[in-house]
Structure 1
Amino acid sequence: MAKDFSTMEASNGSDNTDIHSVSPTARRQLLRGGLASAVAGLLSPLAVQGGALTALLSGCASTGVRAPLLGFKSVALGEVDAVRVPEGYLTQVIAPWGDPIGVAGAQPAFKPDASNSAADQAVQMGMHHDGMAYFPLDGSRRGLLCMNHEYADHGLLFSDGGKDWTPEKVAKSQAAHGFSVIEIEQNAESQWAVVRPSRFARRVTANTPCQVNGPAAGHPLMRTAHDPSGRRVLGTLSNCAASRTPWGSFLSGEENFIGYFRGPNRPNAHEQRWGLRAGEQWGYRWVEHDERFDAAAHPNEPHRFGWIVELDPSDPQAAPVKRTAMGRAAHEGATVALCKDGRAVVYSGEDARFEYIYKFVSRDAMQPGGPKANAELLDHGTLYVARFDADGRGRWLPLVHGQGPLTAANGFADQGEVLIKTRQASDLLGATKMDRPEWIAVDPQGHVYCTLTNNSQRGAPGRPGVDAANPRANNVGGHIIRWKEEGDFHAERFSWSHFVLAGDPQAERTEARGQMKGDAFACPDGLFADARGVLWIQTDMSSADMGPGVEFLKKDPSAGALGPKELVKLGNNMMLAADPGTGEVRRFLVGPVGAEITGCDITPDGRTMFVNIQHPGETPGDLSDPAHPMAFSSWPSPAGGRPRSATVVIRKQDGGLIGT
């Protein structure tokens, strides 16, 4: 099923009181000021860097001279069905959808006509690669790559384009979701390959048993006929952004989970707030052969999704764990920072119109010993939601039962119910409704960034108007917001500003006009901060006709009719590098036709980058129809072949640091 952003969930009808008038100060688009001397206070997830990278950073710190962060020539815009990177860089494709992951004795090859079975798919790379993280086994030459598979395009997944749903088709679609854990290794010629077989190879799918931990575990609202205990959920799905924790686990957000459920004929207020529609779902027909996705028959089943899931990739037998203390939402992902006292702080955004940004602060400090020593670290702590004020400051509002309006009288019997109904609790606290907050990154200096992809409903009739943090009506270009905690990461106050308003600086329409220093881009989505302080920005501009090129401002019922001069083409989706100190943005990668650029990580030595290419040539519809437009991408397959999401490995020809 293709994403249709014009019909995405927009279920926040709350009447929050913190919509502020826009002040000139709050409208500043680019943060001023630079990175202080190089690398003091590197976050633990980044402190594993070694070799030449450590030497470079140490030299900067000792001399006080800030080396230029961006040393490559920008890639030109374009609509070529290929991955293009700067001069002096090399690319390699590994682990495309359908390739075997390396489970011993079960390595079925991908069939170009997509006739692989559900059993095959369960041990092959899942569909639509998304967030990922690299876990070193032997430094920067061998490690585990753990990645999400966000959703399934049934026109590509099935040889008949998805006609006549059967139990086998449902099983195959479910097996294409979840995570993959693969072992990868660099050979003497610097080429990377998937290790097969590998004792670490693993798929987690929409049918893998998952453990439920934290305050909502066992809650009456989590219990179902399939699981009377409320502590064991089958599967994880719609997994989007991801991160590596300082203790060595993988965190993944369950995002657009609600679209998998068929709503009851008359959804109640709680179900409507979470986007359940009467008798509808978003094209996933699992309910026809898997009754648990019928919310009328099993009203608590949707409560068991929308969590942040933690996985220990080093232990193939460890169950994925849904960490309920961090709240239920359309989580794009989760990014971890460490306080000076060792407590974990997890930032997450909720990718839906007018939803919120959250922060979780653990009660306890991280312990040495890896994931097993920290098996309960994310089960105890305090969840907060962000309020951005017009004076450039903000406050984290605690989502704690019994505090303020979060009482039984307002529909919250206990802390478990506050967390299951995180959206309603945030509504009552007056949190700031954001323009689809997606990925979050923390740079080495402790600045926190969040991409706000777009929101064409901002300022539409009956919808919230502009505010200080979201300053554009019909926000088709999106923006990136940046803040710094006023103290350590656990602080309850912060200072914020806009890092950039995205779009084309030459656009005629104000809402599409970008304000940036350097290369134009729109609809920021993926975000990654490397150890040098470079901010890597990935875009997800939607195409109006699914053909070559991307129009990020398209016809939308809430935006009104658009004339031909008001459509802006920026070519295929891209990844850019930004220098937070100067605000400069340079285009580093341009992807294939129809693809989203998503997921990013770099090996500890800084010399190899991994980037995911999702849904190249996305083709909703029936591929068995001769008239179906299959031709606009076959990446990375041979010409005319079935397009496949895959991971791109990027290195410099001279073996240097990525981005220099």
Structure 2
Amino acid sequence: MCEGVVFDEAPEFDFARQTPQARAGQSGYNNDYTEVLRQPNGKKGLLVCNHEYVNPQIMFPSAPASAAEEAQRRAIFRNAVGMTVVELARGHKGRPWDYVRGGRLNRRITADTKFELTGPLAGSDFVKTAADPTGRFVRGTLVDCSGGSTPWGTILSGEENFNGFFRAGGTSAEDRRYGLENKATGMGWELDDPRFDARGEDYRNEPNRFGYIVELDPEDPHSVPRKHTSLGRFKHEGANVIIADNGKVVAYSGDDERFDYLYKFVSKNKYKKNNKAHNMTLLTEGDLYVAQFAGNSAGGIDGTGTVPADGKFDGKGSWLQLVVNGRSAVAGMGVQDVLVHTRLAADQTGATKMDRCEDVQPNLQTGKVYVACTNNTKRGLPGQAAADEVNPRTENRDGHIVELTERRGDATAFDWNLLMLCGDPATNTETYFSGFPTGELSPISCPGNLAFDTRGNLWISTDGAPSTIGYNDGLFRVGPEGRNRGNVQQFASMPRNAETCGPVIHDDESMAFVAVQHPGEEGTYTVQHSFFSDYVPAGTTPAPGQVRAPRPSIVQMFLQGAAGS
């Protein structure tokens, strides 16, 4: 659904004649987080997805010929990010879905859509600009990566690598910590829109208005989506929520950068069943924590990934306070400073530096929480954090998955262990799969997004395996409990250069959905009009029926052999 038409009045996608206006009525590019919401009758539903970024080199048939064409392409790019909502329909439950062009709930959100800021930063001096002197409304959402759905029917989306879209001063500690630099950006949006040039006073704060968890009501196409500042500002991979025993909402989120942190938010107020309006306020006010891990195998971690003498990687952890009861818990920083410069606040607490926390997924059956740590090839290098029990490999190429057992959803202490150290067990002894026989496992590397099925199995999509273990990225299932704990099996493989994103598992229908992102990104290719296909290098003539590269898409799959616990 890379260029699917969302609205009746929008034109069909024309590869050779793209315009900003047409793109605003078509689905965005590079789908990442995906959710399929089904109505009880099984015949209607909603597809919601976000769009992380664009690939200019494969979106068009040739290089731009003039400055005017370059400017038009930049405008197309701004309309190709954000989010898409489309209605789904099918004849009966268990059949593939078709999307509904011109559906009443269809919606496109772009880099120009109006968003409302909530929480302590709304209206603060940290987020005021010349275009928004009130500091309460933001144009657009950027680099939306993973996300989550809420028990009250809304969608959460994480703004990740927003720094790459702004030209900034680049000299302050805050700019450096967030990767903001004083150099031309890759997209060049600062050439057309002054808010992306943060060097002057008018838009100095514009980068402070990105890096949040976004909440969207997909059932109200006229609603103003929100950016929740209470969950902190960093490179959110996404957010997933559970309802704690005391009725409060707990949201988990990872900061997807080497040596950054795992966070938890606990709402001030409690969830009310069947009260959507109330529940949509729950992420606006609450406490924010960052994780500190302690292993129990002192002296037994040497960076090789060797299993400790007690047979597993495990220990205890603490949630360190950042904001509690509406007040900052970090010395020398007010609550607004903590929430806009969350990374710097977490640096002061002694939080554990992680190997790229991406998706954080609670298992609603057991209450355990799973953290995908994608990789960190700089772990243990000179001047960098050394290996520890929760990140036990130096130059961690393949990543790992952490399992947390919360004593209560809103507690400040937890137990933890590692479910797996990823890799190819046939060629790499630095792997660990909770003791499951390695000869029966699929090789897996770079876990990114997570999902659970109704049986409690954990599904994993990967991002980066071709450069590590030499296999394409894919979709995998692993048992987290009992005799199948650690049993990793692959169910799908992506085309070359493509990341697997946004897995949705409807095992009651033996169906799964994945977003296939950026196929053809690495290499000199151009694009025609199809999806799965053979690559043909640019400058050569394709054979009849052959295309030059696939495009990002959302794929429906029927799973065979996926039953069981």
Q: State the match for 2:498 in structure 1.
A: 595
Amino acid at match of 2:399: G
Unaligned runs of 5+ in 1: 1-95, 543-549, 553-567
1:447 equivalent to 2:364? Answer no
Aligned length: 522
Which among 125, 129, 141 is matched to residue 220 of structure 1?
Answer: 125
Other structure's SS at 1:372 match: helix
Cα gap change, 1:200/1:533 in structure 2, threshold over 3 Å: closer, same or farther?
same
Cα gap change, 1:403/1:318 in structure 2, threshold over 3 Å: closer, same or farther?
closer
**Contact 1:651/1:658 (<8 A) preserved:** no
Q: State the match for 1:541 in structure 2.
A: 464
Amino acid at match of 2:446: C
Q: Distance in 2 between matches of 1:257 and 1:299?
A: 15
Amino acid at match of 1:151: Y
Question: 1:529-563 CA deviation, whole Å, 9 max, x = no partner?
Answer: 12210100111116xxxxxxx231xxxxxxxxxxx
Shift in Å, 1:462: 1.5
Amino acid at match of 1:644: R
Cα gap change, 1:324/1:595 in structure 2, threshold over 3 Å: closer, same or farther?
same
Q: State the match for 1:482 in structure 2.
A: 403
Shift in Å, 1:629: 2.9
Amino acid at match of 1:431: A
Cα gap change, 1:587/1:631 in structure 2, threshold over 3 Å: closer, same or farther?
farther
Which among 416, 430, 451 is matched to residue 336 of structure 2?
Answer: 416
Q: Distance in 1 between matches of 2:155 and 2:386?
A: 37
With structure 1 as the length reference, what TM-score do the two structures score? 0.75
With structure 2 as the length reference, what TM-score do the two structures score? 0.87
Q: State the match for 1:182 in structure 2.
A: 86
Q: State the match for 1:118 in structure 2.
A: 20
Question: 1:489-515 CA deviation, whole Å, 9 max, x = no partner?
Answer: 11110000111001122446x7xx432
Shift in Å, 1:652: 5.0
1:579 equivalent to 2:479? Answer yes
1:551 equivalent to 2:467? Answer yes
Cα gap change, 1:600/1:140 in structure 2, threshold over 3 Å: closer, same or farther?
farther
Question: 1:508-529 CA deviation, whole Å, 9 max, x = no partner?
Answer: 6x7xx43234211111111111
Q: Distance in 2 between matches of 1:502 and 1:152?
A: 29
**Contact 1:112/1:642 (<8 A) preserved:** no
1:268 equivalent to 2:172? Answer yes
Shift in Å, 1:109: 1.2
Other structure's SS at 1:222 match: coil
Q: Distance in 1 between matches of 2:178 and 2:160?
A: 12
1:531 equivalent to 2:487? Answer no
Q: State the match for 1:436 in structure 2.
A: 356
Shift in Å, 1:108: 1.6
Question: 1:137-158 CA deviation, whole Å, 9 max, x = no partner?
Answer: 3443311111111110011223
Q: State the match for 2:531 in structure 1.
A: none
Q: Distance in 2 between matches of 1:280 and 1:354?
A: 26
**Contact 1:145/1:183 (<8 A) preserved:** yes
Residue identity over aligned pairs, in percent, reads 38
Amino acid at match of 2:453: D
Q: State the match for 2:51 in structure 1.
A: 149
Shift in Å, 1:572: 1.1
Amino acid at match of 1:267: T
Q: Distance in 1 between matches of 2:247 and 2:562?
A: 30
Which among 176, 189, 192 is matched to residue 286 of structure 1?
Answer: 189
Give matches, 1:102-251, under 5 Å: 103=7, 105-113=8-16, 115-161=17-63, 164=67, 166-188=70-92, 190-251=95-156
More displaced stretch, 419-428 vs 461-470? 461-470
More displaced stretch, 189-198 vs 301-310? 189-198
Shift in Å, 1:245: 0.3
**Contact 1:312/1:371 (<8 A) preserved:** no
Cα gap change, 1:622/1:587 in structure 2, threshold over 3 Å: closer, same or farther?
closer
**Contact 1:249/1:311 (<8 A) preserved:** yes
**Contact 2:405/2:416 (<8 A) preserved:** yes
Q: State the match for 1:16 in structure 2.
A: none
Unaligned runs of 5+ in 2: 297-314, 528-534
Q: State the match for 1:259 in structure 2.
A: 164
1:458 equivalent to 2:379? Answer yes
Cα gap change, 1:220/1:404 in structure 2, threshold over 3 Å: closer, same or farther?
closer
Shift in Å, 1:370: 5.1
